[in-house]
Structure 1
Amino acid sequence: MNTNNTSLKNQIYTSILNDIILGNYPPEQVINEKGLMERFNVSRAPIREALIELCNEKILYSIPYYGYKITPLTDEDVANTKSYRCVLECGFMTENWRKFTPEALDKLETLHTSILSSKEESDAITHWNSNITFHLAFFEIYGNQYAYQHLRSAMSLQTRAYAQTRWSEWHSRLFHDVPAFHGPILEAIRNNDMDTALRLLRADIISI
């Protein structure tokens, strides 16, 4: 196997995926090999390999003799993802409550303060990415990489769905109040109030 070609394919795959996640492809836009070849200034082979991988992962689907489109995600997909996240995140909080040491909480509060300090200057995408960063940092305390990757995948799907179904809002200040629950959640944990922390965590997940 040509390792250079494989590396190039991976770079193109990552670039296209990032554009999809950030909503840089408008809904219904057709992605074609010729346009990507011109954009990346490469031959057809690595482009096609990257597109095939994205199709295998159900991120894109192929329209013969026409091009590729992003696999549509709906508000139902978002609702199902939120439901899954509630079970995953609240379940792990319950099972790992003792892992919220003062040191762990200090790190989370530092991150939360950093997010708040940039709140007024950020657009919706930046706010949402900050929300992802906080939830993943929160979940990292539990030390379960398998579950961590599943949460990351769920939030990535949620990102793609928002980028598709709320195109104009996604490029505005839609998620202006994303961190609203984070501070109270941390305060409830400091007070050893699991019931309140779980209620706020669930409300945080569902609110967006």
Structure 2
Amino acid sequence: MAFSDVSTPDVGALFERVPKATLRAHVVERLRGAILAGDIPPGAPLVETSLSERFEVSRGPLREALRQLIEEGLVVTVPYTGTRVAELSVEDVHEIYSLRTVLETFAFEQVWPRRDDRFRAELRRRNEALIASIDAGDDRASILNELEFHGLVYEVSGHRLLQRAWNGLRGRLQLYWAAHHRAHGRRGPKRDSHDSYIKAAFGADLEAMRREIADHMRRGVETTERFLRTMPTSSGKPKRGDNS
């Protein structure tokens, strides 16, 4: 049985029978992985009947899994249309860039006087985990590890509203990074992509950290935009914001 009316090569291999003990978690993991890998394309419909048959699960755990992916921003519910994989527009890339720049700068401003050896050691550890996933060619793991790397400053800030804003952005960031990696034809960011970021984070110049955050967010954005402009929307129309 087809996954949906969208034809996807070898999609059946992605959906083996799920152990009942962890039904929702397995459905979430496999759907998330397929979305981030591009195996289920942006805008593809997620039909409950087909999914429940494919996973051999009831509608209950399936709906719970879809609800979690909606909260993560990877899946959306469109009125009168149904549930679909979220699409990432050129405007989304600009919004992600501008919002992350503001949020991460503010986060570092909050923690700047409180950076200590534990903060530095943990940032190094998370960067090492990211590099390990890049070396292993595991794109999904590299995306999650990059989220954990950047998430540290939000965690340390202790600012609850800031942490909520970061958590609300994570799903879109996963879509952005997955598109960014495909745009560059690689399975994760460059190994040294955070070297200057770590150097600034460990330094004594807050203004240098602000500049590094802005530069870090800007790197690769134009390439990702060009990649997104080549991808049709679910309606087959050009991406919004494509002025070419």
> Is TM (by shorter chain) over 0.5?
yes
Partner of 2:189: 176
Number of residue equivalences = 198
Equivalence for 1:31 = 46
SS in 2 for 1:201: helix
Q: Where does 1:64-103 land on structure 2 (aligned, <5 Å)?
A: 68-103=83-118
Q: Which residue of 1 aligns with 2:200?
A: 188
Question: What is the deviation of 1:98?
Answer: 0.6
- Could you tell me which amino acid in structure 1 is paired with residue 76 of structure 2? L
* Matched-pair contact (CA < 8 Å) for 2:43–2:84: yes
**TM, length-normalised to structure 2:** 0.63
Aligned pairs for 1:89-168 (under 5 A) are 89-161=104-176, 163=178, 166=179
Deviation at 1:86, TM superposition (A): 0.5
State the 1:169 CA deviation: 1.4
Find the counterpart in structure 1 of residue 57 from structure 2: 42
Three-state SS of the structure 2 residue aligned to 1:69 is strand
Of 136-145 and 109-118, deviating more is: 109-118
Q: Which residue of 1 aligns with 2:32?
A: 18
Shift of 1:159: 1.8
Question: How far 1:53 sits from its partner (Å)?
Answer: 7.9
* One-letter amino acid of the structure 2 residue matched with residue 126 of structure 1: A
Match of residue 7 from structure 2: none
Contact preservation (8 Å) 1:31, 1:68:
yes
CA distance, structure 2, for counterparts of residue 115 and residue 55 of structure 1: 26
Spell out, residue by residue over 1:53-110, the C-alpha distance to the aligned partner (whole angstroms, 9 max, x if none).
Answer: 867998333586x864324221211210110111111012123311211221122123
**Cα pair distance change 1:30/1:63, threshold 3 Å:** farther
Structure 1 residue aligned with 2:230? none
Q: Identity over aligned residues, as a percent?
A: 23
Which runs of no fewer than 5 residues in structure 1 stay unpaired? 1-6
Runs of 4+ residues over 4 Å off in structure 1: 7-13, 44-58
1 or 2 for the larger relative contact order (CA 8 Å, sep ≥6)? 1
Contact kept, 8 Å, 1:37 with 1:47, in 2: the verdict is: yes
Q: Could you tell me whether the CA contact under 8 Å between 2:181 and 2:188 is conserved in 1?
A: no
- More helix as a share of residues: 1
* Unpaired stretches in structure 2, ≥5 consecutive residues: 1-20, 221-244
**Contact residue 60 and residue 70 of structure 1 kept, 8 A:** yes
Tell me the CA shift for residue 15 of structure 1.
Answer: 4.8
Query: What is the CA deviation profile of residues 176-197 of structure 1, one whole-angstrom value per residue up to 9, with x for unaligned ones?
Result: 32652x3323323433111112
Structure 1 contact 124–174 (Cα < 8 Å) conserved:
yes
